[in-house]
Amino acid sequence: MLIIGEAVIDDEVAHASFCCDLANCKGACCTLEGGRGAPLEDDEVLEIEKAYPIVKQYLDEKNISAIEESGLVDGSPGDFATTCINDRACVFTYLDGGVAKCSFERAYLNGDLDWRKPISCHLFPLRVRRFGTDAIRYEQISECASGRDRGEASDIKLHDFLREPLIRKFGRQWYESFVLSCKNKMNHH
């Protein structure tokens, strides 16, 4: 276990290589089976409500009708998630050449939103659970196998690949301590 500030992190995160491979996975993390969309922090519900009128232009009719029927999010405080279509795709995804992509991120990259996307999406394949402290675990789903291979082949460490979202979530100082701990772990093996 790595312990940085208020967070406990799986050891394997220190060694893992990773780099998303959208050409192969087709944005699978946005369309996973399981009935729930992206886990949300309570304050992100408001961000989604504010963003929806802007991102609606990127969404298919089926997404819009799912939102009109089931709402933008489901759950309750402490346990919100984005709504899904048929227990799979997040309602905020759109297809770009067969790849599921995020409408929030598209609006952010276009300069129409200053909020990029839910932090749980930005951090994936890391998942953060709150148990008094933040427990960070590496979710190695089969759909991300090509991302692990690409990370290995390009020698891109998971903690480097996720630099921006980790700083967004925990701050720069925390991130720097985290990277140092990862390097120390790797040197002791």
pLDDT in tens, 143-188: 999 999 999 999 999 999 999 999 999 999 999 999 998 888 777 7
Q: CA–CA separation, 154 vs 152, rounded Å?
A: 6
Half-sphere exposure of 44 (CA within 13 A, CB side): 24
Domain boundaries, the chain: 1-18+125-189, 26-115
- The DSSP bridge pattern shows strands 133-138 and 7-9 to be parallel
Q: CA–CA separation, 120 vs 129, rounded Å?
A: 10
Of the pLDDT bands very low, low, confident and very high (cuts 50, 70, 90), residue 58 is very high
pLDDT digits (tens, 9 = 90+) for 63-89: 999 999 999 999 999 899 999 988 789
pTM of this prediction?
A: 0.91
**CB neighbour list of residue 24: distance below 8 Å, 6 or more residues apart:** 146
Angle 56-62-64 from CA coordinates, rounded to 5°: 30
